[in-house]
């Protein structure tokens, strides 16, 4: 083995646990696209992934987190505060920066936090030590999962089985970018900017329409039926399980290329524009489908811009809208909790009538 390869393998072995490479995942294009667009623009609002058991939902979500470049955080800060972006700082760091203090930083992997089904509200939001606050006048905060997930990804497997109250808290934090904990008149607020990813099996029930609507995108995945593709997936997984570091080395170039594309898209995103007539067509589609509220319009505009940025364009094309609009709208058509989510055929028919006219 040459010296270069030895170095790569050595670096890879420093990882606590090897993660299956994102670029090695075969099929499931809807899920992969939805995740990519959400990491390019977290303001899309997260993604709900529904599909059969054993279709690689968890593997893909962990793979996208492992693919992302390291982020700079303030050293010893429990909220992963950004050293220069005011909106991503905790109050303590804001005070330090305001005083002109030297704020040491370090690079960390993008946080990937799993929320267990049995989690309590205190575990999710964090807790305040009331006794210490009352006796010593010191606000002592024990951070929860929302603090740890700041500037990263919060993954909830079987989100459709999670208590609605907790889902509401997660969605509120994801939408506002902040988490507020209040106990006995004492309040602590901290940044909680994360990509919320929920997954589940539709056989175990769907989320209520009111909660489902607040996820930016909805991806459906199905078990692959084509024999040759199933064989390829099994071979890929077996290769990784038998020798993960060799597999990671094999896909290193593709991983690096995709990582560069994501960073470039994030930097390009703010300059991407969408013409007025295309915005009107998006709203016309939403109106024709009787989508409640304006969340569908907003998310589709954001997703189309992210898709254009990913494809190195400064202006949204009509094909960018066609590529993302089903992911953004299909879950917003369900009005009755007893209804099933449209597979996308209804959205596709309206899109063909309006966008092709």
Burial class of residue 225 in the structure, from the number of CB atoms within 10 Å of its CB (0-12 exposed, 13-18 middle, 19+ buried): exposed
* Residue 119, phi-psi category: left (phi > 0), alpha (psi -120 to 50), beta (remainder): beta
Q: How many CA atoms lie within 13 A of 36 on its CB side?
A: 25
Residue 302 annotated in active site: no
For residues 217 and 48, the answer to whether their CB atoms sit within 8 Å is yes
Of the residues 193, 295, 330, 334, only one is catalytic, namely 295
Beta-strand pair 178-183/186-191: antiparallel
Scanning the structure block, which residue is given the tokens 């607020």? 189
Distance CA(254)–CA(264), nearest Å, equals 15
* Helical (H) or strand (E) element with 269: none
Q: Across-strand partners of 153?
A: 112, 195
Distance CA(310)–CA(138), nearest Å, equals 47
Report the 10 Å Cβ neighbour count for 246: 13
Displacement of CA 256 from its chain's centroid (Å): 20
Residues labelled catalytic = 295
């Amino acid at each position: 083995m040459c010296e270069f390869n030895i170095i790569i393998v050595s670096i890879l072995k420093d990882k606590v646990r090897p993660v299956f490479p994102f670029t090695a995942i075969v099929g499931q294009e809807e899920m992969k696209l939805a995740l990519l667009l959400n990491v390019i623009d977290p303001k899309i609002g997260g993604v709900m992934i529904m599909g059969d058991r054993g279709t690689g939902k968890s593997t893909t979500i962990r793979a996208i987190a492992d693919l992302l470049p390291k982020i700079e955080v303030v050293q010893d800060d429990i909220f992963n505060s950004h050293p220069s972006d005011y909106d991503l700082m905790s109050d303590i760091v804001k005070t330090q920066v305001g005083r002109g203090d030297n704020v040491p930083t370090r690079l960390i992997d993008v946080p990937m936090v799993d929320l267990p089904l049995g989690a309590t509200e205190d575990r999710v939001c964090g807790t305040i030590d009331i006794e210490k606050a009352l006796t010593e006048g010191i606000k002592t905060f024990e951070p929860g999962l929302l603090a740890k997930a700041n500037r990263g990804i919060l993954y909830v497997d079987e989100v459709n089985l999670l208590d609605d109250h907790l889902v509401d808290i997660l969605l509120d934090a994801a939408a506002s970018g902040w988490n507020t904990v209040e106990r006995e008149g004492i309040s602590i607020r901290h940044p909680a900017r994360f990509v919320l990813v929920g997954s589940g099996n539709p056989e175990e029930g769907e989320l209520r329409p009111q909660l489902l609507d607040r996820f930016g995108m909805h991806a459906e995945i199905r078990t692959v039926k084509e024999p040759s593709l199933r064989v390829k997936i099994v071979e890929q997984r077996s290769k990784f399980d038998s020798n993960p570091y060799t597999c990671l080395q094999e896909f290193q170039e593709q991983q690096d290329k995709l990582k560069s594309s994501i960073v470039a898209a994030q930097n390009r995103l703010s300059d991407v524009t969408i013409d007025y007539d295309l915005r009107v067509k998006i709203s016309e589609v939403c109106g024709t489908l009787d989508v409640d509220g304006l969340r569908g319009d907003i998310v589709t505009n954001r997703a189309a811009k992210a898709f254009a940025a990913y494809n190195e364009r400064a202006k949204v094309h009509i094909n960018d809208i066609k590529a993302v609009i089903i992911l953004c709208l299909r879950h917003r058509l369900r009005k009755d909790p007893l209804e099933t989510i449209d597979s996308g055929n209804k959205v596709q028919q309206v899109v063909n009538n309006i966008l092709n006219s």
